[in-house]
Homo-oligomer: A and B are copies of this chain.
Amino acid sequence: MNAIKTVGVLGGMGPDATVDFMAKVIAATPAERDQDHIPMLIDHDPRVPSRQDTTPAEDVTIREMLAAMAVRLEAAGADFLVMVCNTAHGWLDLALERTTVPFVDIVEVTADALTARHPAVRTVGIMATPACLEAGLYQRVLESRGLASLPAEGRARRDLMRLIDRVKAGDQGEDVAAGMAVIAQGLVAQGADAVIAGCTEIPLVLAAEQLPVPLISSTDELARRTVALALGEATLQSRRHLAER
């Protein structure tokens, strides 16, 4: 039997999403006692500047902070790295330059789950932050798989960001969930036959049951892949697709 791998987690963006990810890793691990569980090193740093409407100076700070976290996690013994924030995946260049262990891309992992479990889907609604949508993180990956993207636009995009900010402020109330469901249903009305929750705050309030089409949660898929990788049931991939961004 191979030893369980140690996961390095770039977290705190936001805090509740990181805890949600950890809880999902633990729940997805077959374990009878503490010692069966997956070791995780978590750098939970909510001080990383907001990834929305960044200035060039903030861009540098985000890139440097993420790189410092990754370097520290690798030095502390992480066998691979994950980051519990979709949007921040657009600022990973320095982190990738300065570390050598595999970095699991939440966007690829989420797209993998979508295509594996729902092969008939053709048009994918994307719920994510404005910065994530403007960077095209999901659109590019979906296009490379021959899928059409339907990102939240205009007022829906702005409303979604306000709801995400309410979750970040600790509000997981029913009206936040209802507001997100309205946005998801709007994407379905426009033709989406699946919706990606491409921001780790969304699955804290929006449930698959609220939609008539499959909802793919980036947090859940990252947790599932993390468990498979740590237990040696999946193979770590090259970091090429991340480095090419």
State the A residues within 8 Å of B (CB). 4, 12-16, 18-19, 22-23, 26-27, 31-50, 72, 76, 165, 168-170
In the complex with contacts A44-B41, A72-B76, A26-B35 CB distance below 8 A: no
The one of B13, B34, B168 in contact with A168, judged by C-beta atoms closer than 8 angstroms, is B34
State the 4 A-B residue pairs at the shortest beta-carbon distance, nearest first: A37-B46, A42-B42, A40-B44, A34-B46
The one of B36, B47, B48, B170 in contact with A46, judged by C-beta atoms closer than 8 angstroms, is B36
Q: With a CB–CB cut-off of 8 A, which chain B residues contact A34? A: 12-15, 46-48, 50, 168
The one of B27, B31, B50 in contact with A35, judged by C-beta atoms closer than 8 angstroms, is B50
Give, as a whole number of angstroms, the nearest-CB distance from A79 to chain B: 13
> Are B31 and A12 touching (Cβ within 8 A)?
no
> Are B35 and A49 touching (Cβ within 8 A)?
yes
In the complex with contacts A33-B169, A76-B72, A40-B22 CB distance below 8 A: no
Expressed in whole angstroms, the Cα–Cα distance for A112 and B168 within the complex equals 31
Q: Which residue of B lies closest to A169 (CB)?
A: B32
Q: With a CB–CB cut-off of 8 A, which chain B residues contact A44? A: 22, 39-42
19 pairs, CB–CB < 8 Å, chain A vs chain B: A4-B47, A12-B34, A13-B34, A14-B37, A15-B34, A16-B23, A22-B44, A31-B169, A31-B170, A32-B169, A33-B168, A34-B46, A34-B48, A34-B168, A35-B50, A41-B44, A42-B44, A43-B76, A72-B76
Expressed in whole angstroms, the Cα–Cα distance for A168 and B23 within the complex equals 13
Q: With a CB–CB cut-off of 8 A, which chain B residues contact A33? A: 50, 165, 168-169
Give, as a whole number of angstroms, the nearest-CB distance from A65 to chain B: 11
The one of B27, B32, B40 in contact with A42, judged by C-beta atoms closer than 8 angstroms, is B40
> Are B35 and A47 touching (Cβ within 8 A)?
yes
Give, as a whole number of angstroms, the nearest-CB distance from A199 to chain B: 13
| 18 further interface pairs, Cβ-Cβ under 8 Å (given A4-B47, A19-B26) | A12-B37, A15-B26, A15-B34, A15-B37, A16-B23, A18-B22, A19-B22, A26-B170, A27-B170, A33-B168, A34-B168, A36-B46, A37-B46, A39-B46, A39-B47, A40-B44, A41-B43, A42-B42
Q: With a CB–CB cut-off of 8 A, which chain B residues contact A42? A: 40-42, 44
Expressed in whole angstroms, the Cα–Cα distance for A82 and B93 within the complex equals 33
Give, as a whole number of angstroms, the nearest-CB distance from A55 to chain B: 15
> Are A45 and B39 touching (Cβ within 8 A)?
yes
